[in-house]
Amino acid sequence: MLKGKRWVIRPGDTTLLNSGQVHVVRTGSR
């Protein structure tokens, strides 16, 4: 339930919006 909040995304990370939830998926690193 984090709406209106700003997420700091670093170069190389991908942000996916699912069901209103923000999932930060690191690309290249799992």
pTM of this prediction exceeds 0.85: no
Quote the pLDDT of residue 7.
Answer: 60
Average pLDDT over residues 11-23: 56
pLDDT at 8 (0 to 100): 62
The confidence score (pLDDT) of residue 11 equals 58
Higher pLDDT, 29 or 6: 6
Cα separation values, 6 from 2, 3, 9, 22, Å: 9, 9, 9, 10
Q: How far apart are CA 18 and CA 30, in angstroms?
A: 19
Please give the average per-residue pLDDT across 6-21, as a whole number: 58
